[in-house]
Amino acid sequence: MMNDIYEHAIKPMLPKKFDENEWFVIVVTIIVLTGIYYITMKNRHLLWTELISIFLFNLQLATLGDYFLAMPPYDFYDTVDRNSGELMDIFLQNIIYPGTVLFLMSFYNKKTTNKVLFILVSAAILGILEWIGIHLFHLFKYNTWKFYYSVAFYLLVMSLNVLFFDKLRKFLNSRLSNS
Protein backbone atom coordinates (compact mmCIF):
# COMPACT_ATOMS: atom_id res chain seq x y z
CA MET A 1 0.00 0.00 0.00
CA MET A 2 2.67 2.56 1.01
CA ASN A 3 4.79 1.49 -1.96
CA ASP A 4 1.82 2.10 -4.28
CA ILE A 5 1.30 5.58 -2.81
CA TYR A 6 4.97 6.37 -3.30
CA GLU A 7 5.09 4.97 -6.86
CA HIS A 8 1.87 6.55 -8.10
CA ALA A 9 1.47 9.74 -6.08
CA ILE A 10 4.83 10.92 -4.75
CA LYS A 11 7.46 9.67 -7.20
CA PRO A 12 5.88 11.34 -10.27
CA MET A 13 6.19 14.71 -8.52
CA LEU A 14 9.82 14.31 -7.48
CA PRO A 15 12.66 15.52 -9.71
CA LYS A 16 14.16 12.86 -11.98
CA LYS A 17 17.53 14.16 -10.88
CA PHE A 18 18.22 16.85 -8.28
CA ASP A 19 20.46 19.18 -10.26
CA GLU A 20 20.98 22.82 -11.19
CA ASN A 21 17.36 23.61 -12.04
CA GLU A 22 16.12 22.50 -8.61
CA TRP A 23 18.87 24.52 -6.91
CA PHE A 24 17.96 27.52 -9.06
CA VAL A 25 14.30 27.25 -8.02
CA ILE A 26 15.25 26.96 -4.34
CA VAL A 27 17.62 29.95 -4.45
CA VAL A 28 15.18 32.12 -6.42
CA THR A 29 12.34 31.12 -4.07
CA ILE A 30 14.41 32.32 -1.10
CA ILE A 31 15.25 35.57 -2.91
CA VAL A 32 11.60 36.18 -3.84
CA LEU A 33 10.37 35.39 -0.32
CA THR A 34 12.97 37.82 1.03
CA GLY A 35 11.74 40.46 -1.43
CA ILE A 36 8.13 39.83 -0.42
CA TYR A 37 9.08 40.16 3.25
CA TYR A 38 10.87 43.42 2.50
CA ILE A 39 7.98 45.01 0.59
CA THR A 40 5.33 43.78 3.02
CA MET A 41 7.03 44.26 6.39
CA LYS A 42 10.02 46.57 6.06
CA ASN A 43 9.18 48.97 3.23
CA ARG A 44 5.48 48.73 2.52
CA HIS A 45 3.96 51.20 0.09
CA LEU A 46 0.92 49.12 -0.80
CA LEU A 47 -2.19 48.36 1.21
CA TRP A 48 -2.62 44.76 2.32
CA THR A 49 -5.63 44.58 -0.01
CA GLU A 50 -3.41 45.61 -2.93
CA LEU A 51 -0.63 43.19 -2.00
CA ILE A 52 -2.98 40.24 -1.67
CA SER A 53 -4.95 41.17 -4.81
CA ILE A 54 -1.83 41.53 -6.97
CA PHE A 55 -0.40 38.28 -5.63
CA LEU A 56 -3.64 36.35 -6.24
CA PHE A 57 -4.12 37.92 -9.67
CA ASN A 58 -0.66 36.77 -10.73
CA LEU A 59 -1.06 33.38 -9.10
CA GLN A 60 -4.12 32.94 -11.29
CA LEU A 61 -2.27 34.15 -14.41
CA ALA A 62 0.64 31.76 -13.74
CA THR A 63 -1.61 28.79 -13.08
CA LEU A 64 -3.85 29.38 -16.09
CA GLY A 65 -0.93 30.29 -18.32
CA ASP A 66 1.00 27.14 -17.51
CA TYR A 67 -2.13 25.01 -17.68
CA PHE A 68 -3.04 26.18 -21.17
CA LEU A 69 0.45 26.69 -22.62
CA ALA A 70 2.42 23.80 -21.11
CA MET A 71 -0.20 21.06 -21.15
CA PRO A 72 -1.77 19.18 -24.07
CA PRO A 73 -3.12 19.94 -26.58
CA TYR A 74 -0.59 22.78 -27.02
CA ASP A 75 2.36 21.58 -24.89
CA PHE A 76 4.56 24.51 -25.94
CA TYR A 77 7.15 23.93 -23.19
CA ASP A 78 8.10 21.78 -20.22
CA THR A 79 9.39 23.00 -16.86
CA VAL A 80 12.13 21.54 -14.71
CA ASP A 81 12.61 17.78 -15.40
CA ARG A 82 9.20 16.53 -16.46
CA ASN A 83 6.57 17.34 -19.04
CA SER A 84 3.94 17.48 -16.30
CA GLY A 85 3.75 18.91 -12.80
CA GLU A 86 6.65 18.43 -10.45
CA LEU A 87 7.37 19.58 -6.92
CA MET A 88 9.48 22.54 -8.12
CA ASP A 89 6.59 23.72 -10.33
CA ILE A 90 4.68 24.44 -7.12
CA PHE A 91 7.35 26.95 -6.11
CA LEU A 92 7.50 28.43 -9.61
CA GLN A 93 3.74 28.95 -9.92
CA ASN A 94 2.88 29.80 -6.32
CA ILE A 95 5.84 31.88 -5.16
CA ILE A 96 8.30 32.89 -7.87
CA TYR A 97 5.96 34.10 -10.64
CA PRO A 98 3.46 36.03 -8.50
CA GLY A 99 6.11 37.19 -6.02
CA THR A 100 8.36 38.66 -8.71
CA VAL A 101 5.48 40.57 -10.27
CA LEU A 102 4.36 41.71 -6.82
CA PHE A 103 7.83 43.11 -6.22
CA LEU A 104 7.76 44.90 -9.61
CA MET A 105 4.30 46.31 -8.90
CA SER A 106 5.50 47.62 -5.56
CA PHE A 107 8.18 49.49 -7.45
CA TYR A 108 5.54 50.70 -9.94
CA ASN A 109 3.48 52.12 -7.09
CA LYS A 110 6.45 53.80 -5.44
CA LYS A 111 8.57 55.17 -8.27
CA THR A 112 6.94 54.96 -11.68
CA THR A 113 5.66 57.93 -13.60
CA ASN A 114 5.89 56.45 -17.10
CA LYS A 115 3.64 53.39 -17.47
CA VAL A 116 4.93 52.37 -20.90
CA LEU A 117 8.55 52.49 -19.77
CA PHE A 118 7.67 50.50 -16.64
CA ILE A 119 5.93 47.81 -18.71
CA LEU A 120 8.88 47.59 -21.13
CA VAL A 121 11.50 47.43 -18.37
CA SER A 122 9.48 44.90 -16.35
CA ALA A 123 8.97 42.66 -19.38
CA ALA A 124 12.70 42.90 -20.07
CA ILE A 125 13.52 41.93 -16.46
CA LEU A 126 11.16 38.96 -16.60
CA GLY A 127 12.58 37.96 -19.99
CA ILE A 128 16.15 38.15 -18.67
CA LEU A 129 15.21 36.02 -15.67
CA GLU A 130 13.63 33.44 -17.98
CA TRP A 131 16.67 33.49 -20.28
CA ILE A 132 18.96 32.87 -17.27
CA GLY A 133 16.69 30.05 -16.12
CA ILE A 134 16.77 28.44 -19.55
CA HIS A 135 20.37 28.83 -20.59
CA LEU A 136 22.20 28.52 -17.29
CA PHE A 137 19.91 26.25 -15.27
CA HIS A 138 17.82 24.31 -17.83
CA LEU A 139 14.61 25.37 -16.09
CA PHE A 140 12.46 25.20 -19.22
CA LYS A 141 12.57 23.08 -22.34
CA TYR A 142 10.84 24.72 -25.27
CA ASN A 143 8.92 22.32 -27.47
CA THR A 144 7.43 24.74 -29.98
CA TRP A 145 7.66 27.87 -27.81
CA LYS A 146 10.05 30.66 -28.79
CA PHE A 147 11.73 33.11 -26.43
CA TYR A 148 10.14 36.11 -28.12
CA TYR A 149 6.71 34.62 -27.27
CA SER A 150 7.71 34.95 -23.63
CA VAL A 151 8.68 38.59 -24.07
CA ALA A 152 5.32 39.30 -25.74
CA PHE A 153 3.56 37.39 -22.97
CA TYR A 154 5.41 39.41 -20.31
CA LEU A 155 4.42 42.64 -22.06
CA LEU A 156 0.80 41.49 -21.89
CA VAL A 157 1.06 40.34 -18.26
CA MET A 158 2.67 43.57 -17.08
CA SER A 159 0.14 45.65 -19.03
CA LEU A 160 -2.67 43.70 -17.35
CA ASN A 161 -1.00 44.23 -13.97
CA VAL A 162 -0.74 47.98 -14.46
CA LEU A 163 -4.36 48.14 -15.60
CA PHE A 164 -5.47 45.91 -12.71
CA PHE A 165 -3.49 47.90 -10.14
CA ASP A 166 -4.71 51.28 -11.39
CA LYS A 167 -8.35 50.10 -11.35
CA LEU A 168 -7.91 48.51 -7.93
CA ARG A 169 -6.27 51.65 -6.51
CA LYS A 170 -9.07 53.84 -7.93
CA PHE A 171 -11.72 51.52 -6.47
CA LEU A 172 -10.03 51.40 -3.04
CA ASN A 173 -9.53 55.16 -2.97
CA SER A 174 -13.22 55.70 -3.74
CA ARG A 175 -14.19 53.27 -0.98
CA LEU A 176 -11.80 54.80 1.53
CA SER A 177 -12.90 58.35 0.77
CA ASN A 178 -16.61 57.38 1.19
CA SER A 179 -16.09 55.86 4.62
Give the pLDDT confidence of 45-60 residue by residue, as tens digits. Answer: 899 999 999 999 999 9
DSSP letters for 104-155: HHHHHHHH-S-HHHHHHHHHHHHHHHHHHHHHTT--EEESS--HHHHHHHHH
pLDDT at 87 over 90: no
pLDDT at 83 over 70: no
Closest CA to 161 of 51, 25, 77: 51
| Distance separating alpha carbons of residues 106 and 95, to the nearest angstrom | 16
**Tens of pLDDT, residues 17-71:** 788 889 999 999 999 999 999 999 998 889 999 999 999 999 999 988 888 888 8
